[in-house]
Chains A and B, each alone.
Chain A
Amino acid sequence: GDSVTQTEGLVTLTEGLPVMLNCTYQTIYSNPFLFWYVQHLNESPRLLLKSFTDNKRTEHQGFHATLHKSSSSFHLQKSSAQLSDSALYYCALSDRTNTNKVVFGTGTRLQVLP
């Protein structure tokens, strides 16, 4: 079945440094939809950005990601981390079949320190 692999565990950065959270996926479907969800402490997950177009950069709130089907990757990046970026980040995959099932990765916790 579909699966998503993310950078494991906790990533700690100093404010102002670049952010890169890795995400790779496996699916038999040729046109998957990839998502990044962010979950701040004691909040529910919310969509950060999404893509289904190969090799097209998607941006939102300073974050960006590019879906590369050739390498089955959808890494999340930001040029300069802010304290408010500290959160749990989920990469997720949908094959857009009629169930709209979304498969989430294990999540990467980002901690930005001053």
Chain B
Amino acid sequence: DPKIIQKPKYLVAVTGSEKILICEQYLGHNAMYWYRQSAKKPLEFMFSYSYQKLMDNQTASSRFQPQSSKKNHLDLQITALKPDDSATYFCASSQGDWGPQDTQYFGPGTRLLVL
């Protein structure tokens, strides 16, 4: 069974619209993250959450808003979509104790295409 679920797997959106990317983890982890990967840029850290609190935001735009309704959920709302937002968005999680064993595990990703 997949331990990190991301929905949908593929998403096509129109410029200017709003979408929500879903992430649920069943690893019992306390920390969750969002990353973005596109053809133009390597893997890019976006947000980190610990116990449902925002710890770090490296995203310049307020159009990207993480939402955590439960400890094992971290959704990503993207508003006013632009073609440059086209990328694969990975959710990740870790135990959250920041120790040497605190490895991040990545979900399968949501591939977003903005037309």
Q: Which residues of A contact B (CB under 8 A)?
A: 33, 37, 43-47, 50, 52, 90, 96-107
Contacts and interface: CB of A to CB of B under 8 A. Distances in A.
Interface stretch (B11-19, B39-47, B69-77): B39-47
Nearest to B95: A100
A100 B31 CA distance: 9
18 contacts: A44-B107, A44-B109, A46-B105, A47-B104, A47-B105, A90-B43, A96-B98, A98-B98, A100-B48, A100-B50, A100-B55, A101-B56, A102-B45, A102-B104, A104-B44, A106-B42, A107-B42, A107-B43
A6 B16 CA distance: 36
Nearest to A43: B108
A33 B96 contact: no
A43 B33 CA distance: 18
Contacts of B33: 100, 102
Contact of B106 (A33, A44, A52, A101): A44
**Chain A interface helix/strand/loop/mixed:** loop
Interface of B: 31, 33, 42-45, 48, 50, 55-56, 58, 90, 94, 96, 98, 100, 102-109
B102 to A, nearest CB: 7
Nearest to A103: B45
A44 B106 CA distance: 6
A99 B42 contact: no
Contacts of B45: 101-104
Contacts of B48: 99-101
A47 B104 CA distance: 8
B74 to A, nearest CB: 14
A81 B43 CA distance: 24
Contacts of B105: 46-47
B100 A101 contact: no
Q: Name the residue in B56, B104, B109 with the highest tally of chain A Cβ atoms < 10 Å from its Cβ.
A: B104
Contacts of B103: 47, 50
Q: Name the residue in B90, B105, B106 with the highest tally of chain A Cβ atoms < 10 Å from its Cβ.
A: B106
Contact of A33 (B42, B50, B58, B100): B100
A102 B102 CA distance: 11
